Amino acid sequence: MSAIIEIDHLSKRYGSGTAALNDVSLNIEEGEILALLGPNGAGKTTMISIICGLVRPTGGTVRVGGHDIRTDWRAARKLIGLVPQEILLEPFETVRDCVRFTRGLYGEGPDEAYVEQLLRSLALWDKRDAKTRELSGGMKRRVLIAKALSHRPKVLFLDEPTAGVDVTLRREMWQVVRELSAQGVTVILTTHYLEEAEDMADRIGVINKGELLLVKPKAELMGEFGKKHLTIDLY
């Protein structure tokens, strides 16, 4: 495996506040599912936002597919898809138009065959002509994923994809993530839920107060704790 994302001594301070991210270094390997676990305010969204180019770091570097996000951003962003925490959709557009539109934002030309394949793989094909405001919460989250994958990124970030959703929908989201991973997409997800990290991830990173406390393969972590479930005393 080789690293698709290289994070080196990354820091972020908003204004004069305390560090939201403090000297974080981490390589994310191609094809893995990495869960970033941490309580409210730990720095998870900040880290993702920096990698996705939405927030400027105070210090350190990030390379995506070898491209430095500060100097070679266009190439880096093509490799990344982001599913944000909030459900932000174009309410009066159809599902298919939403995905086409996002593809256009990435500078990609039309590719109806790919859009169809994507919608089918996310079980959205039957809803392709529905306006997004008419959809259930679960379907809306699927549309967000379709949008994030519209330009065929190699890496998908999911920022708390299951926050506030019920157990059935949570399990449905996990299944979608597993299928994406099986297709070779590298997946980084943030979560508050230990069981989600346990169930989904190849590796688990724990963030608290801007510090990356540890990153380990799940099996190793669970072995160390010697219990069926991980117990990490952050909450």
Nearer to ligand ATP, 174 or 193 (CB): 193
Among 5, 34, 37, 44, binds ligand ATP (CB under 6 A): 44
Residues 23-42 that bind ligand ATP (CB under 6 A): 38, 40-42
Among 14, 73, 101, 225, binds ligand ATP (CB under 6 A): 14
45 lines the binding site for ligand ATP (CB under 6 A): yes
Nearer to ligand ATP, 18 or 168 (CB): 18
51 lines the binding site for ligand ATP (CB under 6 A): no
Query: Considering the complex, what minimum distance in angstroms separates the CB of residue 14 from ligand ATP?
Result: 3
Query: Considering the complex, what minimum distance in angstroms separates the CB of residue 41 from ligand ATP?
Result: 4
Nearer to ligand ATP, 45 or 162 (CB): 45
**Could you give the strand order of the β-sheet that contains 59-64, starting from the edge strand earlier in sequence?**
19-29, 3-13, 59-64, 67-68
Count of residues that interact with ligand ATP, criterion CB under 6 A: 11
Q: Where along the sequence are the contacts to ligand ATP (CB under 6 A)?
A: 14, 17, 20, 38, 40-46
